[in-house]
Chains A and B, each alone.
Chain A
Amino acid sequence: MQTLTVIYRNLRQRWLSTCLTALSIALGVALVTAITALRQQARASFDNVAASYELVVGAKGSPLQLVLNTVFHLDAPVGNIPYDYYRKLKADDRVAYAVPLALGDNYRGFRLVGTEPEYFTLVKLKDGQPVAVAQGRAFAGDYEAVIGSVVAREAKLGLGQTFVARHGVEDTAAAEEHEDAPFTVVGVLRETGTPLDRVIFISLGSVDEIHRDAANASQTSQSLLDQLNALGAEPESPAKPDARPDAKPDAHGDERGHRHGHRHRRQEPAGAPPEAPSASAPSAPAAPLSPPAAPASEIAEVTSVIVKLRSPGYLFLLHREINKGKDAQAALPGVEVQKLFAIVGTVDRALLLVSLLVVAVAAVSVLVAIYNSLAERRREVAVLRALGARRRTVFAWLLWEAAVTAALGGLVGVWLGHALLATAGATLKFLSGLPLAPWTWTRLEIGPSWLTGYVPFEAAVVVGTLLLGALMGLLPAALAYRVNVARHLSE
């Protein structure tokens, strides 16, 4: 009979105790695994995305916020910089390209970002490929939109369909809809596995137009109200005081970096339906996708600028130069991501410590479970010894039982940790646009390079719990080793 069979039989004999002990270890290991995998994958995703951008320029303020807003399409914008600043930057000999971004509104929580069509060809992602429009074409006029793949999937938007944006970058019930300014989807970006998948790109002119229209509508209402008041008549429904263009803050949420204008003009996309639907749900394809007239591109401000330099040598030079000035700041996405994870790392380490404590407490339960079982097993040990089992054989069996129970917990815990990640992954991807691969190996971070290079974290965890279990089994095994055979046989 194999030793493994003996261990299996003994564990099965006390299956409830074995399962509960293993489960307590599994829970601790699941937490450690999920936290470690999540941190590594989040870090890798952020690094991957950040690596696609050399330099980001925006309004003075927090550089981390600027990077989060421009590169990851998270957080509120820092503010705006003059459009002329962008033009000067673009004209700089050291700059290979500069692409402006103007934060617009949102559609069902997906941000509308105004930019130039060259964004799709110039900005290259970590895979070396441009952002690229996979279906349709880039926007060529105002009120045309190119949507990310997640937007297309989640909002069920397709080419030719129209949608109405809500004001502000967050989707709130209080936010007003730009009902008279529906956008037509003219392109869908390739799936990039980056936050770009959750973005709706529109022209800079659209950002400007949509707010001019909204502001003018409010201004017209106010004008009518003023006339009614002058006649001494009571308005049937008082206009919202914050609907006036000069009222701040309004119902649009955070207005920093969010542009307002006051022009009653709207450039209809060529071939767009004469009466665009006003509902926020996408309408059926109606508009042909031929390019309209050139968009209105002269705007006053942009939120940020993505800059690529002709030579890496210019990077820190330009970074310092811009930051010395009063008008704008430059941020290095890679550096800011490092800072972000240094901040997050504290919380992460605290969570990891708690998880390790859970594992440690669970490991003690292995000791307690086997120690408690020993009282009823002393006679079994005595019988084994009487049958010819050596002390060290019995000692080893007890040690293996403890180790296998713990390792079983480790195995289940690793699976559970990844299952947890898989469950949370979909939500996390939806919220951040960053993909999680819940069923991939996690890198071992602690240990010599010959170990970390070849052994995944999960394998190390299972081996670790095996050793921890063996350690916890030492006391019961030693007691079994010292069992008085003659006495327990006669009991």
Chain B
Amino acid sequence: MLHLRNLRLDYPSPAGEPPSRVLDVPSWTVGAGEQLALVGASGSGKTTLLNVIAGIVAPDEGEVRLDDTDIARLDEARRDRFRAAHIGYVFQSIHLLPAFTALENVALGMKFAANRAGAAQAQALLEKVGLRDRARYFPRQLSAGQQQRVGIARALANRPKLVLADEPTSALDARNRDAALDLMQKLCAEIGAALIVVTHDDAVARRFPTALRLSDINRAN
């Protein structure tokens, strides 16, 4: 389903020095519905890899193919639209939008994908993550664990093929961490979405059937 081939990304360096290579992935495949953890130290390029897969950052070379679409070859506007429709993103710092209610935060992701299902589907998702009675709450009125559950619902609002999670539990305590991971894994399995979680925490990695070190796929390290 997701296939990376000859992926390269360099970061510019100070004048006169050669650019610093961040990603060099000859080939990597993630199957449909597969759930895996990608482990690496801070600064190893985990987040950058997720951003390239999500189409937020364009690689210098190579393919990022999700099913039949090479995201790397799409122009920026199409990448945005593709990402909205097919890729869910769970952020490290949760990043709920403070001006919007939990329900609206979920519905906002649907808007960008031109998903007309609207508030009913967003409400159903909040029910699934156990926040039925918190739909009208603003992020500041929710606990960190509740906020992350809204973040998970938002990532799944458009029933994506692929869900990317960047250190999704780093802001949570152990109990909330486990609950959030369970929820994410369960919901992704329900809709058949592949799940890639990047983490530096071995405890998180151990919860996944597949756990890879970033250095296993990235030669730049």
Quick check: is B104 within 8 A (CB to CB) of the other chain?
A: yes
Q: Which of B48, B100, B113 has the most CB of A within 10 A?
A: B100
Quick check: is A391 within 8 A (CB to CB) of the other chain?
A: yes
Chain B contacts for A353, CB-based, 8 A: none
If the complex has contacts A12-B99, A390-B80, are A385 and B91 also in contact, measured as CB distance less than 8 A? no
Chain B contacts for A348, CB-based, 8 A: none
Chain B window 103-128, contacts with chain A (Cβ cutoff 8 Å), 1 for yes, 0 for no: 01001111111000000000000000
Chain A window 383-413, contacts with chain B (Cβ cutoff 8 Å), 1 for yes, 0 for no: 1111111111100000000000000000000
> Is B51 a contact of A486 with CB atoms below 8 Å?
yes
> Is B95 a contact of A379 with CB atoms below 8 Å?
yes
If the complex has contacts A1-B107, A486-B51, are A388 and B91 also in contact, measured as CB distance less than 8 A? no
If the complex has contacts A12-B99, A489-B91, A489-B95, are A387 and B104 also in contact, measured as CB distance less than 8 A? no
Q: Quick one: which of B48, B57, B80, B99 contacts A9, CB cutoff 8 A?
A: B99
> Is A389 a contact of B80 with CB atoms below 8 Å?
yes
Quick check: is B76 within 8 A (CB to CB) of the other chain?
A: yes
Quick check: is B47 within 8 A (CB to CB) of the other chain?
A: yes
Give the CA-CA distance A485 to B110 in the complex, in Å: 19
Residues in B65-111 with C-beta less than 8 Å from chain A = 76-77, 80-81, 83-85, 89, 91-92, 95, 97-100, 104, 107-111
Q: Which residue of A lies closest to B95 (CB)?
A: A383
Give the CA-CA distance A12 to B101 in the complex, in Å: 12
Give the CA-CA distance A47 to B80 in the complex, in Å: 63
If the complex has contacts A386-B54, A386-B89, A388-B113, are A13 and B80 also in contact, measured as CB distance less than 8 A? no
Give the CA-CA distance A254 to B110 in the complex, in Å: 80
> Is A387 a contact of B109 with CB atoms below 8 Å?
yes
Q: Give the secondary structure class of B's interface.
A: helix
If the complex has contacts A386-B54, A387-B112, A486-B56, are A13 and B99 also in contact, measured as CB distance less than 8 A? yes
Q: How many residues of A contact B (CB 8 A)?
A: 24
Minimum CB–CB distance for B193 against chain A, Å: 16
Q: Quick one: which of A1, A380, A383 contacts B111, CB cutoff 8 A?
A: A1
Q: Give the secondary structure class of A's interface.
A: helix
Q: Which residue of A lies closest to B138 (CB)?
A: A13
Chain A window 195-239, contacts with chain B (Cβ cutoff 8 Å), 1 for yes, 0 for no: 000000000000000000000000000000000000000000000
Quick check: is B161 within 8 A (CB to CB) of the other chain?
A: no
Q: Which of A379, A380, A388, A485 has the most CB of B within 10 A?
A: A388
Give the CA-CA distance A1 to B104 in the complex, in Å: 8
Chain A window 353-394, contacts with chain B (Cβ cutoff 8 Å), 1 for yes, 0 for no: 000000000000000000000000001100111111111110
Q: Which residue of B lies closest to A2 (CB)?
A: B111
Residues in A297-347 with C-beta less than 8 Å from chain B = none
Instruction: Please give the residue numbers on chain B whose beta carbons come within 8 Å of chain A beta carbons, in ascending order.
Output: 47-48, 51, 54, 56-57, 76-77, 80-81, 83-85, 89, 91-92, 95, 97-100, 104, 107-113, 154
Q: Which 5 A-B pairs have the closest CB atoms?
A: A388-B84, A388-B112, A13-B99, A9-B99, A383-B95
- List 18 other contacts, CB 8 Å, given A1-B104, A386-B54, A490-B47: A1-B108, A1-B110, A9-B99, A9-B104, A13-B98, A384-B108, A386-B83, A386-B91, A388-B83, A388-B84, A388-B85, A388-B112, A388-B113, A389-B112, A486-B47, A486-B48, A486-B51, A489-B47
